[in-house]
């Protein structure tokens, strides 16, 4: 199924939880945040929030800035 991930079209094999998505991407939770369709998903909700087809996902972290 297709989703938008950080502005790019991305194919996932199936619907999956945010926690599974992060594990698949090998992303550690510390220092990162994720929003789906402009809603920030709290880390506690990662295991129970499911990514669906067409979702727009923003995965961010802190970088150098002024």
Partner 1 sequence: MPIGEDYLELAGQRLAARLLLGSAGYSDLTTLFEAIDASGALIVTASIRRIALPNRTKESLWQQLKSKNLQILPNTAGCYTASEAVLTAKLAREALETNWIKLEVIGEEQALFPDVEELLKAARQLVHEGFVVLAYCNDDPITCRKLADLGCAAVMPLGAPIGSGLGLLNPYNLEFMRQTIAIPLILDAGIGTASDAALAMELGFDAVLVNTAIAQAENPPQMALAMKYAVQAGRLAYLSGRIPKKRYARASSPREGRIGQNDQG
Structure tokens at 64: 């150098």
Inter-residue contact 36 to 57 (CB < 8 Å)? yes
66 binds partner 1 (CB under 8 A): yes
26 binds partner 1 (CB under 8 A): yes
Q: How far is the CB of 49 from partner 1 (least distance, A)?
A: 13
Q: Tell me whether residue 59 is exposed, middle or buried, using C-beta atoms within 10 angstroms of its C-beta: 0 to 12, 13 to 18, 19 or more.
A: middle
19 binds partner 1 (CB under 8 A): no
* Position among 2, 23, 42, 56 found at the interface with partner 1 (CB under 8 A): 42
11 binds partner 1 (CB under 8 A): no
């Amino acid at each position: 199924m297709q989703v938008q991930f950080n502005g790019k079209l991305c194919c996932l094999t199936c619907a999956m939880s945010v926690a599974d998505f992060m594990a698949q991407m090998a992303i550690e939770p510390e220092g990162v945040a994720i929003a789906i369709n402009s809603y920030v998903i709290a880390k506690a909700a990662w295991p129970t929030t499911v990514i669906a087809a067409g979702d727009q996902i923003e995965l961010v972290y802190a970088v150098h800035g002024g």
